[in-house]
Amino acid sequence: MTKTTTPDNRPANPNFSSGPCSKRPGWSAAKLDAQALGRSHRSKIGKSKLAQAIDLTRDVLQVPDDYRIGIVPASDTGAVEMAMWSLLGERGVDMVAWESFGAGWVTDAVKQLKLDNCRKIEAGYGDLPDLNQINFDNDVVFTWNGTTSGVRVPNGDFIPADRKGLTICDATSAAFAQDLAFDKLDVVTFSWQKALGGEGAHGVLILSPRAVERLENYTPAWPLPKIFRLTKGGKLIEGIFKGETINTPSMLAVEDAIDALEWAKSVGGLKGMMDRADANFAAIQNYVDSVDWLENLAVDPATRSNTSVCLKITDPAVQALPDYEQAAFAKAIVSALDKEGVAYDIGAYRDAPSGLRIWAGATVETSDLKALMPWIGYAFEAQKAQLSQAA
């Protein structure tokens, strides 16, 4: 049984939010290069900093040389919207979703873009849909890692090399922690605020040669806002992918991203980042496996996220409660840990089943997660004791 006494160890860093996520170990604002701050992003130094962020992204994430990388407005959401509004409509589209953000892209395709030939392939929280249903003659939009469900695709094997449509992948909680199959992906998006522990507001858009070809040979039937426009006169605006951003970026956020990317290189690059996330996930899952009242929301172990780890409380006494009381029970655990200063922002996403969501990306230290898990057990036992007294 989990101890009801206060655990001996406390996490040195209690920041386990799933976005914006914990800063890298040793981060300090004083360590950021301030040369470009207060300068125009169009200045020589401003452009060089933006180009440096792009080059480091290519290096650390191992993006193929013939793929374009651009820094775009409005975080990962802006990058996904830009891709959907600019590329979809040329052929049918399969929208694949199993959590809230994927469901949001479905809504955009069906209700905003009003695409006629649009199929929805969906599953509930905890499961992947049947990926064999996807028709890759169509364009396909999906999330690699479901941030609000903790369910990811295990690999890119389900995507054929000879596909006719484009694959548009929201990879915001997968990039830098999972092995993205770039040869199977035509559009990849993410934001700095996830696995790099960077600041919000900016997204990254990565385009394959096939995606560029579509952009230069297809014009959507709908008008495009200025911040979505990637072509001019039927040609890709190459400057976007060389540091000439569509709108004014935060040079402080750019500098912070450079700092995070340099740190990523120092811990072994992509492999080092993935290894750190895997170790973090193991620290959580090993504890979950040791108790009988907590489970991973992802049913299939092969689909369990190593970044946004979602957990559900399966204790019979809690499960017997009405849904709203189960949610209140989980929120009480979250609140107790917040008050203790051992874990901030670990409640389940508002649209997801009640429970916990713990960020396990590479900027989190494994030792902090090992220290955290007994505290979750402590808070659970304390809350269950209150439940028993109330009964």
The mean pLDDT of the chain is 97
Answer for the pair 280, 366: CB distance below 8 angstroms, yes or no.
yes
Q: pTM above the 0.75 mark?
A: yes
pLDDT at 22 over 70: yes
- DSSP-derived letter for residue 240 is G
Q: pLDDT at position 249, please? A: 97
CA 256 vs CA 24, 76, 197, 271: distances in Å: 10, 17, 9, 21
The amino acid at residue 160 is: P
Q: What is the DSSP letter of 348?
A: P
Structural domains in the chain, sorted by start: 32-265 (3.40.640.10), 269-390 (3.90.1150.10)
pLDDT over 90 at 54, yes or no: yes
**Virtual CA dihedral for 347, 353, 358, 359, nearest 10 degrees?**
-110
Mean pLDDT of 16-35: 97
Q: What is the mean pLDDT of residues 215-240?
A: 97
Question: Closest by alpha carbon to 191, among 257, 242, 258, 259?
Answer: 257
pLDDT tens digits, 260-319: 999 999 999 999 999 999 999 999 999 999 999 999 999 999 999 999 999 999 999 999
The conformational region for residue 302 under phi > 0 = left, psi -120 to 50 = alpha, else beta, is alpha
Burial 65-75 (b: 16+ CB within 10 A, else e): eebbbbbbbbb
Strands (E), 183-329: 187-191, 202-207, 231-232, 235-236, 294-296, 308-313
Please answer whether residues 255 and 36 qualify as being in contact, where contact means their C-beta atoms are separated by less than 8 angstroms. Answer: yes
Task: Kindly report which listed range (4-8, 18-22, 141-145, 230-234) carries the lowest average pLDDT score.
Answer: 4-8
Model confidence at 217: pLDDT above 90: yes
Residue 267's contacts (CB-CB under 8 Å, 6 or more residues apart) are 273, 276, 362
Give me the pLDDT at residue 226, please.
94
Asked if pLDDT for residue 2 goes beyond 50, the answer is no
Q: So what's the pLDDT on residue 389?
A: 86
- Tell me the pairing of strands 93-97 and 139-143: parallel
- As a whole number, mean pLDDT of residues 84-108 equals 97
Per-residue pLDDT, 1: 37
Distance CA 193, CA 373 (A): 24
Q: How many helices (H) and strands (E) does the chain have?
A: 9, 14
Alpha-carbon distance of 267 to 290, in angstroms, equals: 30
Structure tokens at 145: 């890692």
The predicted-structure confidence for 325-384, as pLDDT tens digits, reads as follows 999 999 999 999 999 999 999 999 999 999 999 999 999 999 999 999 999 999 999 999
d(CA 69, CA 51): 10
How close are the terminal C-alpha atoms of the chain, in Å? 21
pLDDT at 388: 84
CB atoms within 10 A of CB 234: 10
Q: Phi/psi at 26 (nearest 5 deg)? A: 80, 5
